[in-house]
């Protein structure tokens, strides 16, 4: 397994064949994202991130796209209208998004020429004056 760090947390994915520290673009399909109202504990889904619902858009029935703000990252979940009603989802609601690690693989990972990611966790011992 590989840990991918980003501004709002980390994602676990199957082994990524890029050098350590390389930037990658991760594409997560909305249909691979589930929603939980409380912190998911006893689940097999590895990636669980807290966020806030910022938009709910009705699509062709029965589908609804739910947009989450994770901080600087926006993530979408594709659910049914029934789930929106049953969970009473609404903009402003804090909830958890869940993404299976196996959903982050193959074509969803692309090399990027982005700036080098920051070290994780931040190592303050190498040069404390810069922090």
pLDDT digits (tens, 9 = 90+) for 51-68: 999 999 999 999 999 999
For residue 54, give the nearest of 91, 98, 85, 88 by alpha carbon.
91
Which is more confidently placed, 5 or 99?
Answer: 99
Q: Evaluate if residue 8 carries a pLDDT over 60.
A: yes
H or E, element range at 97: strand 94-99
Q: Tens digit of pLDDT for each residue in 26-49?
A: 889 999 999 999 999 999 999 999
Q: Evaluate if residue 94 carries a pLDDT over 50.
A: yes
Between the CA of residue 56 and those of 31, 64, 66, 83, what are the distances in Å?
A: 15, 7, 5, 12
Whole-number pLDDT of residue 121: 56
């Amino acid at each position: 397994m590989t840990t991918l760090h980003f501004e709002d947390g980390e994602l676990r994915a199957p082994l990524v064949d890029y050098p350590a520290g390389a930037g990658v673009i991760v594409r997560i399909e909305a249909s691979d994202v589930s929603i939980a109202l409380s912190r998911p504990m006893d689940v097999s889904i590895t990636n669980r991130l807290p966020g806030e619902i910022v938009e709910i858009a009705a699509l062709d029935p029965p589908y609804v796209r739910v947009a989450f703000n994770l901080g600087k990252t926006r993530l979408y979940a594709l659910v049914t209208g029934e789930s929106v009603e049953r969970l009473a989802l609404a903009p402003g609601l804090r909830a958890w998004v869940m993404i299976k690690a196996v959903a982050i693989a193959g074509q969803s990972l692309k090399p990027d020429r982005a700036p080098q990611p920051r070290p994780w966790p931040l190592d303050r011992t190498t040069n404390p004056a810069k922090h």
